[in-house]
């Protein structure tokens, strides 16, 4: 990904070329996320899955992950809204949390139709930092939600629409969030889109 970032800084590129470079970068980031999910499944099954925490401000990471989907949003004519309120530093593995957010955004864009809407938000809510990814896709039925975070689980909408994927993104995301003593879930009804959320505990966020 470093080479494409250097190209994006090249002031000699015309707007169209810059757009192509950005799309290459975004595709590479999404492919990396897919490979990470496959590797992490193996680590989970062999008991070698771990997170490496440090105290960080999540906002820069969230902006970077959101930026990786900007080209997809433009090409699909999807309205992509990002609202990141001020967050306290958290003791987390930022790469892992970025992986979760990337998984959720990837799913949102896969299922949202052209001219639809995807939103990413972050805020403090009570004793938690809450991140949400909302889309205007087909929604999820109650029976599908029961197995949504299981390994290799794919919704009927994914199969019917021929949407690609490994069925591992949400499974790995759940493992990552739970390794942070957090919570992950979804609020959805058929035909009403979906709102995925993850919550990370504020306990110890101030370093005390």
* 3-21 mean pLDDT: 57
Q: Residues 58, 62, 65, CA angle at the centre, nearest 5°?
A: 140
Between 47 and 181, where is the model more confident? Answer: 181
What is the Cα–Cα distance from 152 to 5, expressed in whole angstroms?
Answer: 33
Q: Which helix (H) or strand (E) holds 199?
A: strand 194-201
Res. 166: pLDDT tops 80: no
C-alpha distance from residue 143 to each of 33, 138, 164 (Å): 27, 15, 21
Which of 50-59, 99-108, 165-174 has the weakest average pLDDT?
165-174
* Mean predicted lDDT score pLDDT of the chain: 83
At residue 21, the pLDDT reads 63
Domains within the chain, CATH numbers bracketed = 2-201 (3.30.565.10)
Cβ contacts of residue 22 below 8 Å, gap of 6+? 4, 8, 70, 71
* 7-23 mean pLDDT: 59
């Amino acid at each position: 990904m470093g080479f494409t970032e250097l190209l994006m800084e090249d002031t000699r590129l015309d707007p169209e070329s810059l757009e192509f470079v950005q799309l290459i970068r975004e595709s590479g980031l999404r492919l990396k996320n897919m490979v990470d999910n496959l590797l992490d499944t193996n680590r989970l099954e062999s008991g070698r899955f771990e997170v490496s925490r440090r105290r960080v401000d999540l906002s820069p990471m969230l902006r970077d992950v959101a930026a990786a989907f900007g080209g997809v949003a433009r090409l699909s004519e999807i309205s992509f809204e990002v609202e990141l309120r001020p967050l306290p530093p958290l003791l987390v593995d930022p790469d892992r949390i970025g992986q979760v957010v990337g998984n959720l955004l990837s799913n949102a864009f896969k299922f949202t139709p052209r001219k639809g809407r995807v939103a990413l938000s972050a805020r403090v809510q009570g004793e938690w930092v809450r991140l949400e990814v909302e889309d205007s896709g087909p929604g999820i039925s109650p029976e599908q939600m029961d197995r949504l975070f299981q390994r290799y689980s794919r919704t009927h909408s994914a199969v019917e629409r021929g949407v690609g994927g490994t069925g591992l993104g949400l499974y790995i995301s759940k493992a990552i969030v739970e390794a942070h003593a957090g919570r992950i879930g979804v609020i959805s009804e058929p035909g009403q889109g979906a709102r995925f959320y993850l919550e990370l505990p504020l306990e110890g966020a101030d370093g005390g």
